[in-house]
A and B are shown apart, each in its own frame.
Chain A
Amino acid sequence: MIEIDRLTKRLGDTLIVDDVSMVVEAGTIAVVVGTSGAGKSTLLRMINRLIAPTSGRVLIDGQDTMSIPEDVLRHRLGYVIQGNGLFPHRTVAGNIATVPRLLGWDAKRIARRVDDLMTLFQLDPAEFAKKYPHELSGGQQQRVGVARALAAEPALLLMDEPFGALDPVIRNKAQEDLLSIQRRFGTTIVLVTHDMEEAFRLGDRIAVMDDARLLQYGTPAELLTRPAGEFVERLVGTTERPFRLLSLTKVKDVVEPGTSAGQPLDAATNLRDALSHLMWCGRDTLPVSDEGGALLGRITVEGILAHARQPA
C-alpha cells in the first residue's frame, strides 16, 4: 500500500504539485490523468524521490520513504518511462538484469529471472537475449522496459506514460499484457497518462489532476457518474460517458434468465463490446456462455442500455 500525504512541490513561486493526498491499495492500479503540465509526472517522481518534495510525505507499507536511502528505495520500486530509456549499450538480457545486478544477486539467479521474464513477455530468450535495443521494434523495446522494471520483483511499479510512444494496435496489446501481469503478481501500480481511454481501461482508481491540484480520486464509475466539477466532467468526455460506463461492466453481471438464438457471447466481455456486437449482428438479444461454454442465460440491448443511463 502506498500513502501520499499532503505532498507539495514548489519551484520558486510556482506550485507544481499542490497538497495532494491519495492512497493506493496494495494490488491495485491507480492511474493519474490530467493535461500536460498538471504535475502528474512530478507527483510520480516524488514517490521514488527523483524529485524532492517541498513538503508532505510518502509512506510505502507504512514506512516513510525519506527514512529509506534513495538507491535502496529505487531498487524496491520498478520504474518505467515513456520511450522506455533502455541502455543502448547493453543487450536485452543485460538491460533486464540491471537492478538484480545492483542488488548483487548471484549469476545463476539473475539468468533464471531474466529467462523467466523474457518468456513472460513473449520474447524468446534464445532469439532476443543477446540483441541490442536498437535491433528491436518499439513494442519489443517497451516490453523489455517493463520486464526490466519488474526484474527485482518490486511490490510497487511506477509508470510514466509507459505506452505513449506506441502505435494503437501495439498499445492495446501492451495494456492487456500489463493487466495480466499485474493480476498474476499482484503488483501495485501507479501509472501516469494523458490518455483517458487508457485510464479507464487500466485504472482501479483514477486520479484527475489539473493545475497542480488533485481534483478527484475515485473509481472510474464514480468519475463518470459523480464528477467533481466541470473539469473532470469535460475530461471524462460528456459524449463518451455512456460508452465508458458500459465498458466498466461485464456481461456476466447483466445476464438475464432465458434463452436466445445465435452465437453465444463470452460472459467476460464488457457491455460496450457486447452492445457493439449486438448492433453489428442486428440482433436484440444473444445467449451468454461462460469460459467453458456452458450457457448462463441471455443478454438484451435493453438490459445493456439500462446500464448506460445517468444514475438518478
Chain B
Amino acid sequence: MMRWGNIAWFLALALLLAFITAPDLFTFVFAPLTEHNAPPIYNQGSLLSLTLSHLLIVFGAAFASTIIAVSLGIFVTRPSGVEFLPLSRSLVNIGQTFPPIAVLAVAVPLVGFGETPTFIALFLYGLLPIFENTLSGITQVSPLTLEAAKGMGMSPRGRLFGVELPLALPVILAGIRLSIIINLGTATIGSTVAAKGLGEVIIAGLQSNNLAFVLQGGLVVALLAILIHGVLTRIERSASARLGGRGSESL
C-alpha cells in the first residue's frame, strides 16, 4: 500500500513539475477545450513563478499562523492564562468565520493592493485549526504522565518542552496541515487584489471565457494540495508512531 502511495506521489510530482516548467508540452490536452483559436496554454506569465509565489504566500501565512496559534494555545493552557481561554477562542473563531474575501475587502483600503491583504486573510483563516489542535493536543496529554513529570521535579518549562509539546506534536501538525491545505485553495482569491499567485490563471480564464486556463490554474492548485498533504501526513505519522500510533486525529 505504502509503496503504491509513494509511486503515485512521485508521479503526481513529476506531472506537476513537467506542467509548470514546460506547459506547452500539454497543448494537445487543452486544445479541445478552447474556442475561436484562443490560446490553450496560459500565456500571460510563467506558471513556475506563479506557483512559487502562491506557495510562498501560503507557507508564509501558515508560518505566521503557527507561531501565533501555538503560542496562544500554550498560553491559555498555563495556569496563568486559563482565564483567557474563552476570549482567545472567540477571537480565533472570528478569524475563521469572517470570509477571506471580506477580509480582503476590508484590508485593501488599509494596506493597499498586492500580497499584504492576501497574507492577512490567509493568516486569519489559518489560525483556528492550528489553535484548536494545539489546545486539544496539550489537554489530551495524560494527567498521569504530567503528574509523574511533576513528581520527578521537572520545572514547568521542562514539562512544556519535554513532555507536553512532544506529546501534542502529532495533533498540532495535523492542525498545521489542515490550515495549509485550506489556504492553498483560498489563496487563489488573492489574485482579485493583485497578489501574484495561481488565482491569476483562473481569473484570466474566467475573464476571457477560456475553460483551459481555468482548468490549468485549478489543476496546479489541486496537485499542490495533494502533494503537500502527502508529505505532511507522512511527517505526522512518524511523529505519532513513537507514541503508539495515537494522537493523529485532526479537527
Per-residue interface assignment for chain B, residues 231 to 251, with 1 indicating a CB less than 8 Å from any chain A CB and 0 otherwise: 000000000001111000000
Contact with B along A95-106 (1 / 0, CB 8 A): 000110010000
B204 near A: Cβ within 8 Å?
A: no
Report B137 CB to chain A, min CB distance, Å. 12
**Once the chains bind, are A87 and B151 in contact (CB under 8 Å)?**
no
Indicate whether A132 sits within 8 Å of B155 (C-beta atoms), given known contacts A83-B144, A86-B148. no
Check B149–A50 contact: CB distance below 8 A: no
Bound CA–CA A85/B143 (angstroms): 8
For residue A74, which residues in chain B have a CB less than 8 angstroms away from its CB?
150-153
Interface size class of A (residues with CB under 8 A): 20 to 34
Chain B residues positioned under 8 Å from A148 (CB to CB): 152
* Chain B hits for A81, CB < 8 A: 144, 147-148, 151
Partner of B166, one of A84, A89, A145: A89
Q: Is A48 in the interface zone, CB < 8 Å from B? A: yes
Tell me the minimal C-beta distance from B208 to chain A in angstroms.
Answer: 54
B154 adjacent to chain A (CB < 8 Å):
yes
Is the C-beta of B81 less than 8 angstroms from some C-beta in chain A? no
Q: B43 an interface residue at 8 Å Cβ cutoff?
A: no
Known: A88-B243, A88-B244, A132-B244. Contact between A79 and B152, CB under 8 A? yes
A85 to B245 CA separation, bound complex (whole angstroms):
18
Q: Does B142 contact A (CB under 8 A)?
A: yes
Residue A284, interface by CB 8 Å: no
- Which residues of chain B are near A98, meaning CB under 8 Å? 152, 154
Tell me which of A65-73, A230-238, A262-270 binds B. A65-73
Q: Is the C-beta of A134 less than 8 angstroms from some C-beta in chain B?
A: yes
Q: Is there a chain B Cβ closer than 8 Å to A40's Cβ?
A: no
B163 within 8 A of A: yes
Supposing A89-B243, A132-B242, A134-B244 touch, asked if A79 and B154 sit within 8 A by C-beta, the answer is no
B131-153 toward A: CB 8 Å interface, digit per residue (1/0)?
Answer: 00000000000101101111111
Q: Is the CB of B153 within 8 A of A85?
A: no
Contacts of B148 in A (CB 8 A): 79, 81, 84-87, 145
CB-CB < 8 A to A48: which residues of B? 151
A95, closest chain B residue (CB)? B148
Interface assignment of A113: CB less than 8 Å from any CB of chain B: no
Q: Report A-chain residues with C-beta under 8 Å of the C-beta of B244.
A: 88, 132-135
* Cβ-based interface call for A75 (8 A): yes
Instruction: Quote the shortest CB–CB distance from B154 to chain A (angstroms).
Output: 7
CA distance A105 to B54 in the complex (A): 49
Query: In the complex the two chains form, is B153's CB within 8 Å of A72's CB?
Result: yes
B243, A50: Cβ atoms closer than 8 Å: no
Residues of A within 8 A of B166 (CB): 89
| Chain A residues closer than 8 Å to B163, beta-carbon distance | 87, 89
Residue of A nearest to B155 (CB): A71
The smallest C-beta distance from A75 to any residue of chain B, in angstroms, reads: 4
The answer to whether B152 and A99 touch across the interface, beta carbons within 8 angstroms, is yes
Chain A residue with Cβ nearest B170: A89
| Distance between B153 CB and nearest chain A CB, rounded to angstroms | 3
| B153 and A75 form a contact (CB under 8 A) | yes
Query: Which residues of B are found within 8 Å of A85, using beta-carbon distances?
Result: 142, 144-145, 147-149, 151
**How far apart are A117's CB and chain B's nearest CB, in angstroms?**
15
Decide yes or no: A88 and B155 within 8 Å by CB, A50-B150, A134-B243 being known contacts.
no
Give chain B nearest CB distance to A245 CB in angstroms.
36
Bound-state Cα–Cα, A73 to B149, Å: 14
Q: Which residues of B contact A145 (CB under 8 A)?
A: 148
Smallest CB–CB gap between A287 and chain B, Å?
Answer: 49
Q: From residue B141, how far is it (CB to closest CB) to chain A in Å?
A: 9
B151 touches A88 (CB 8 A): no
Q: For the complex, give the distance between the alpha carbons of A89 and B245 in Å.
A: 11
A89-B166, A89-B242 are known contacts. Are A102 and B153 too (CB-CB below 8 A)?
yes
B167 interface residue, CB < 8 Å from A? yes
The reply to whether B145 and A88 form a contact with Cβ atoms under 8 Å apart is: yes
Give 10 pairs: A residue, B residue, CB < 8 Å, sorted on A: A79-B151, A81-B144, A82-B144, A85-B144, A85-B148, A87-B145, A88-B142, A89-B167, A134-B244, A134-B245
Since A75-B153, A79-B148, A85-B148 are in contact, a sample of 10 more A-B pairs with Cβ atoms closer than 8 Å, ordered by chain A residue number, is A81-B148, A81-B151, A82-B144, A85-B144, A85-B149, A86-B145, A87-B149, A99-B153, A102-B158, A132-B242
